Amino acid sequence: MKLFDLSGKTALITGSSMGIGFALARGLCEAGAHVVLNARGTDLLEAAAQKLRNKGYTAHTLNFDVTDHAGVAQSIDGFEKNHGPIDILINNAGMQFRAPLHEFPADKFDQLMRTNVTSVFNVGQAVAKHMIKRGTGKIINIASVQTALARPGIAPYTATKGAVANLTKGMATDWAQLGLNCNAIAPGYFDTPLNAALVADPEFSAWLEKRTPAGRWGQIEELVGAAVFLASNASNFVNGHTLFVDGGITASL
């Protein structure tokens, strides 16, 4: 279907050497896009890109730290100059750290904020400056089920993901009139490297299966459809929206 066709588009996905980021990159490739993978680990990044190239897809790499405002801008500007426009941005880079709030290390709180929130501003702004000149672009920020809910031990992470959703609304409010679509995807509990400790915990998995109407962990491939929708012309009048892909967990007590 032409509405969902991404042929000829180039998509930058941050934090895409593994997990959700890599799955989304592969899914956009399958929809016709060329992708730009980003991470800080050169070896993992190149290995991920090669996996896509082996399947006949076009995959570039950009090794930059999403928390470095000047470094992000330099990398984005350089890519646009040397390779052409970035049509789609998925702000996926993120981290987790678990501890009771009254014992939460201040340095980890700051690191969470920089990695999960400041990065969305840094990369979003750098890419948007080019998109605005062209009058078109798609920005997708990865939020979380914790955008709407909280659990013990992750209060700062919950705060960051609430901020991502509201920053998405702000992006849409400022940039929709300039031709950009800015939305977010909020995954529920997915079997990813970030959740490895929880997946390995039988007690937690049993709780999750009872708590989630779908009765199971999500598989990362199940996020691809939402990403393709928000990256394509099918979502041209969708702006400032957070799309929960969570097996129904936010719909049910």
Binning the chain into helix, strand and coil, the percentages to the nearest 5 are 55, 15, 30
Task: Out of 33-37, 63-67, 194-198, 245-249, pick the least confident.
Answer: 194-198
In which band, very low, low, confident or very high, does the pLDDT at 212 lie, cut at 50, 70 and 90? very high
Domain limits of the chain? 2-251
pLDDT value, residue 63: 95
* pLDDT tens by residue, 112-143: 999 999 999 999 999 999 999 999 999 999 99
pLDDT value, residue 158: 98
**Is-contact 19 220, C-beta < 8 A?**
yes
Q: Is the pLDDT of residue 1 over 90?
A: no
Q: Is the pLDDT of residue 41 over 90?
A: no
* pLDDT tens by residue, 173-190: 999 999 999 999 999 999
222: tokens are 């199940």
Topology given in CATH for the domain delimited by 2-251: Rossmann fold (3.40.50)
Mean pLDDT for the stretch of residues 29-36? 98
pLDDT value, residue 83: 97
Dihedral sign (CA 30, 33, 38, 42): positive
Instruction: Establish whether 157 is a catalytic residue.
Output: yes
pLDDT value, residue 195: 85
**Catalytically annotated residue among 22, 109, 157, 229:** 157
Q: Is the pLDDT of residue 194 over 80?
A: no
Mean pLDDT for the stretch of residues 72-83? 98
Please work out, in degrees rounded to the nearest 5, the angle formed at the alpha carbon of residue 186 by the alpha carbons of 152 and 76.
Answer: 115
Q: How much of the chain, in percent, has pLDDT values that exceed 70?
A: 100
* pLDDT tens by residue, 144-164: 999 999 999 999 999 999 999
Mean pLDDT for the stretch of residues 85-91? 98
CA distance 229 to 227: 5
* Three-state secondary structure readout of 62-130: ECCCCCCHHHHHHHHHHHHHHHCCCCEEEECCCCCCCCCHHHCCHHHHHHHHHHHHHHHHHHHHHHHHH
CA distance 121 to 91: 9
